[in-house]
Amino acid sequence: MMNNTTCPQISLDFTGRFLPPVYILVFIVGLVANGWGLKSLLQNWKKLKIINVFVLNLGLTDVLYLLTLPFLVVYYLMKSKWIFGEAFCKITRFCFNVNLYGSIGFLTCISVYRYVAIVHPVIMMGRITVTRSVIISVMVWLLVSVQSLPDMFFTKAIINDTEKCFDTTDNANVEDYLKYSLGWTLTGFCIPFIITLGCYGHMAVVLWTLKRTDKVLRQRSLKLLLILILLFSVCYIPYHVLRNLNLLARVLTKQRICHKWYNGVYIARQISRALMCLNSAVNPLVYLHGHEDVPAELRQQLQQVCQMLNRLFPSNSGCVPVAQTADADADAEV
């Protein structure tokens, strides 16, 4: 530990070099993937199942966030100079938070739904309807908005001086923001994470112990479990841990308590922000296992691509017809 009158300045150049390429990639991939997923759901609206209500809302949270990324790309390419006004800065950060905690909320709803459907099917029968799922979705949106609303009352932009747009707040309010962030982490992340982990942990045990369980259902549920573990481990956990650590470092720096790990935490925090935004591109994987018709549509589209490649490059495409792949999978199932 170093006790100086002033702590060494942390280099902020890494953010401007690292985040813009990531945001551009996520914007392109996420918009295509979510657009395709939402289109598939809307085309099958008449066959809407209960879980698809949550999947639809999950896609909407992603699109809401993706539409703000071009403005953040401009911000960081201009060396953290915000030119879109203080109000839009707060709206942009609010959309990010709604995406983050809305995604966690709807993933938790999907987890609880699958848990009840598989472990307690008798209890679920006739009790969980599409109407109730819509009501639950509205409650998730309201809860997430209420949780994110206090964030907008913290200083987000300093337009006349440094023209910054903070993802947390300025140094003058950092102590209060750390307290808010810790409570936010507990209610918005930790509790849903424990619920999701408990649901899928118990469900995994049930699926493996009950041999009479449908094999396709078992495989789909276990794949969804792996996707959710990936999302939480890569996108959500590092983000929340490093956000609070970075805020703590800023509080200690303000108190002139210096540590060598501050710069490392800052860089790791920026990487966690990039990993966090990847959830908007990874979430569409839930479409593949949350909506029964989507895998078939994807196979059909892949087959069309394969046929086009075979026509263009008859000897070098190396593309296996989807029907043949499906037959091979069927043989493997036997």
Are 122 and 54 contacting, i.e. CB atoms less than 8 angstroms apart? no
Q: How far apart are CA 334 and CA 329, in angstroms?
A: 9
Residue 55: what pLDDT?
Answer: 84
What pLDDT was estimated at residue 45? 63
Domains of the chain: 13-291 (1.20.1070.10), 293-329 (no CATH)
Strands (E), 120-189: 157-158, 164-165
End-to-end CA distance of the chain: 63
| pLDDT on residue 243 | 96
Burial class (CB in 10 A: 0-12, 13-18, 19+), 14: middle
Cβ-based neighbour number of residue 210 at 10 Å: 12
Q: Say what the pLDDT of residue 90 is.
A: 92
Mean pLDDT by 10 residues, the chain (334 residues): 63 84 93 83 66 85 91 91 90 92 91 83 74 92 95 84 84 94 96 90 79 67 77 90 96 90 92 90 69 54 62 58 41 32
Given this model, what pLDDT does residue 293 score? 52
Q: Could you give the CA distance from residue 63 to residue 143 in angstroms, rounded to a whole number? A: 19
Chain length of the chain: 334
